[in-house]
Amino acid sequence: MSDDLHASDPHANFRAEVECYAAADPRPTLENLSALTGVPVERLIRYVLVKYAASASDALLAMEPIVFRQMREHVAKAEAEGTDAARLHAYEALRQMVAWLALSGEPAEPTTPE
């Protein structure tokens, strides 16, 4: 994804991740669990969604730490370029990621270098 597109869409990473997970079909797993436990699939779906939503940031941190890999990539790219502009760009990306992790519900405000 281009930097321009990413800058104009603060939810681009989230949308891309949703698309990745949309490729997998959880229904067979839920159907097997339903058959094993006797809990209807619809109730299992509700259970999974409510449990995930209720655990908020704890659930995100318990998942594979994709965001930490992305953070390291921003820093590594900036260090490889070795310029102040690259470091400021990485800082802004990291700042937005931290704001997203805090689940503030409000878009991160862009910073301006002083």
pLDDT at 8: 83
pLDDT, tens digit, for every residue of 26-62? 999 999 999 999 999 999 999 998 887 777 666 566 6
The structure tokens listed for 4 are: 């321009």
> How many domains does the chain divide into?
2
Residues 70 and 92 in one domain: yes
Residues 20 and 56 in one domain: yes
Residues 6 and 31 in one domain: yes
Nearest to 94 by CA among 64, 69, 58: 69
Residues 78 and 108 in one domain: yes
pLDDT at 2: 47
Q: What is the extent of the structural domain holding 95?
A: 65-114
Sorted by sequence, the CB contacts under 8 Å of residue 59 that are 6+ apart come out as: 51, 52
Residue with structure tokens 């260090």? 79
pLDDT, tens digit, for every residue of 80-106? 999 999 999 999 999 988 888 877 555
